[in-house]
Amino acid sequence: MKRFCDRAEAGRALADMLGHYANRPEVLVLALPRGGVPVAFEIAKSLRVPLDVFVVRKLGVPGHEELAMGAIASGDVRVTNPAVLEALSISDETLDAVAARERWELERRERAYRQDRAAPTVRDRIVIVVDDGVATGSTMLAAIAALSQLGAQRTVVATPTIARDALELLRRRVDEVVAVLAPETFRGVGEWYLDFSQTSDEEVRDLLQQAAYFNA
């Protein structure tokens, strides 16, 4: 199975699959930073629709941070996992403390990426949420839940590569999932790129500024 040269090539491949959303004023592309931004930039440029970031921070169980008890996202949204909270008897105070810590990092990232620009309105829009790959789907599920709370009319997940289990999971939660590769064996997102170097904050800012220019 082929691999992408880099995130830009992956974004162009996805854009070809999303052509039916081109030039539609109700469409908004939201990237999960940082790696989703170069992918989403190519999509937004090709479709000629606005691009922005959607920051999601997992709320990990103290001492077992890989286990998510919830998440917070752009737009002052918080979603929780009641099953985990109940099973581990996690108090509201503990949840609030973790959320406050992650809120600080979320706001730092939003300031770094968006600077003084206001966040876009999601309500009643078709939102294409983009990441550079989906392994378990946990971050994307948090984004989907947050977008639902914010009133998105239709949510589309777009990703260059996705694990089969995650694909089936997300198909049950969103209106559409668009993926170039859904390999049977999935060891990690990076294996599907020749160049999977880390995306910097500076690159994110630059791409968002470019996108604002061509959508002006």
Interval 114-135 mean pLDDT: 90
pLDDT of residue 212: 84
Burial 138-173 (b: 16+ CB within 10 A, else e): bbbbbbbbbbbebebebbbbbbbbbbeebbebbeee
- Domain extents in the chain: 7-56+123-214, 59-114
Using one digit for the tens of pLDDT, what is the confidence trace for 16-51? 999 999 999 999 999 999 999 999 999 999 999 999
Q: Does residue 120 have a pLDDT over 90?
A: no
pLDDT of residue 14: 98
What is the C-alpha separation between 205 and 37, in angstroms, rounded?
A: 9
What is the C-alpha separation between 121 and 84, in angstroms, rounded?
A: 31
pLDDT of residue 1: 66
Using one digit for the tens of pLDDT, what is the confidence trace for 131-156? 999 988 888 988 998 899 899 999 99
Percent of the chain topping pLDDT 70: 99
Interval 111-115 mean pLDDT: 84
pLDDT of residue 160: 98
Question: Of the candidates 39, 14, 15, 54, which has an alpha carbon nearest to the alpha carbon of residue 139?
Answer: 54
Using one digit for the tens of pLDDT, what is the confidence trace for 36-93? 999 999 999 999 999 999 998 889 889 888 778 888 888 788 888 888 899 999 999 9
Enter the DSSP assignment of 122.
-
Q: Does residue 216 have a pLDDT over 70?
A: no
Q: What CATH number is given for 7-56+123-214 in this structure?
A: 3.40.50.2020
Q: Does residue 115 have a pLDDT over 80?
A: no
